Amino acid sequence: MSGGPMSSACSRGTVGRRAQSNAVDLGNQEGKKGRGPNKAKKGPKTPDERPLIQFSPNRQFLDVEVPRLITTLWKRFYDGDYFTYELFPEEKRVQVWEQFKAHYKWLVQEEDAVRKAFLSLMKKRWSNNMKDERDKWRKDSDYKPIWVPDHLWPNLCTYWDSPEFASLSGRGKKNRGSGDRVTHTIGSVSFDVHEERMTKAVGGVRPGHQDLYRETHTMRKGVPQGEEAPWCGEKHRARHDRETMERMRTKIDHVKEEREVMKRIMEEMGRMQSCLSQQFATFNAYGMRPPMVGPSFPQAGQAFPPIGTSCPPVGPSFQHDMSMQLPMEHGIPIGNVAR
């Protein structure tokens, strides 16, 4: 739709006058309250100074500055008729990614996870920001965001007034309206970040699902201290009850599974202990030291004394593999970071 005729809705007010003059006036918003253009801080001079990316258990960024930085960076590359995120060129996304890498560092083995979370968050922030700008423009036809070039803004407005966008928007609203859609009361802060804040507030103890859900789905404004905050709606209370019961059932199932596994492990350990006891008894009967103690093996040509046991015992799912009995080291060197 680049360069096409503008709709009457798009050419109204100062939007139309700006399109005719084609003047690039990114600061002509005097008298309007609000934030100015996003300006990303310069990245650290050396990789060692960059903060380390931290993930939540759900693989979400915990640093609240990450979403803001990603939004600021992709706006720098908005130089075409990118009406949707899918139209944002791949080379532009790569450029945003390269600039993002200058601000943070992460473990080498986290590279794919960080990039996946980065792209997912950029798409989400793109959608949210476009909706915010569209809502502002529909309320005030003179509004124009600073980060959109003047010659591109009318085309974006035209797209928002097009039947194509109306159809896509209608389907999206229908999908969002179906089922038990739940809203929360914590603003733009993600649940993972909110959970981390609650954890720090109580000395490192993670909040339970019920506490986190109530904290994010109740209205505390105007509620006297000490009184219970009301739910945002009855559907939220009902969903909370269902999810709580489901989590309890899942937890009970996990406990049962863990008990069954521990039972099998204990049975296997008992068989192994019995086996070793019989082996040592046999070695002592022949006046030999166990092989693991010293070189008291039979000489060449001599048969090894028979052991009158059914060793080694083999359980239904546990094989006697020494490599499985060695302690595993899970530590990852923190110095091994992506540059």
Residue-wise burial string across 138-164, b where 16 or more C-beta atoms lie within 10 A, e elsewhere: eeebebbbebbebebbbbbbbbbeeee
Please indicate, yes or no, whether residues 142 and 21 belong to a single structural domain of this protein. yes
Please indicate, yes or no, whether residues 21 and 148 belong to a single structural domain of this protein. yes
Please indicate, yes or no, whether residues 161 and 212 belong to a single structural domain of this protein. no
pLDDT higher than 70, residue 293: no
* Full-model pTM: 0.48
Q: What does the block give as tokens for 307?
A: 């052991």
- The pLDDT tens digits of the residues spanning 2-30 come to 444 444 445 444 444 333 333 333 334 43
pLDDT band of 295, cuts 50, 70, 90 = very low
Residue 43 domain flag: yes
Please indicate, yes or no, whether residues 20 and 84 belong to a single structural domain of this protein. yes
- The pLDDT tens digits of the residues spanning 132-181 come to 999 999 999 899 999 999 999 999 999 999 998 988 877 666 555 444 44
pLDDT higher than 90, residue 183: no
Residue 265 domain flag: yes
Q: Is the peptide bond before 312 cis (omega within 30 degrees of 0)?
A: yes
Most confident of 34-38, 99-103, 201-205, 213-217: 99-103
pLDDT at 86 (0 to 100)? 94
Residue 200 domain flag: no
Please indicate, yes or no, whether residues 21 and 105 belong to a single structural domain of this protein. yes
What are φ and ψ of residue 286, in 5° steps?
-95, 5
Please indicate, yes or no, whether residues 146 and 251 belong to a single structural domain of this protein. no
Domain boundary among 288, 304, 328: 288
Domain that holds residue 64: 13-26+35-168
pLDDT at 49 (0 to 100)? 86
Please indicate, yes or no, whether residues 155 and 215 belong to a single structural domain of this protein. no
Distance CA(1)–CA(157), nearest Å, equals 11
Long-range contacts of 156-163 (CB under 8 A, 24+ apart): 156/81, 156/83, 157/6, 157/7, 157/9, 157/10, 157/15, 158/1, 158/4, 158/6, 158/7, 158/10, 159/1, 159/81, 159/83, 160/134, 161/7, 161/9, 161/10, 162/1, 162/7
Residue 314 domain flag: no
What are φ and ψ of residue 149, in 5° steps?
-60, 145
Residue 144 domain flag: yes
How many domains are there within the chain?
A: 2
Residue 197 domain flag: no
Please indicate, yes or no, whether residues 213 and 161 belong to a single structural domain of this protein. no
Residue 316 domain flag: no
Please indicate, yes or no, whether residues 146 and 240 belong to a single structural domain of this protein. no
Is 154 within 8 Å of 22 (Cβ atoms)?
A: no
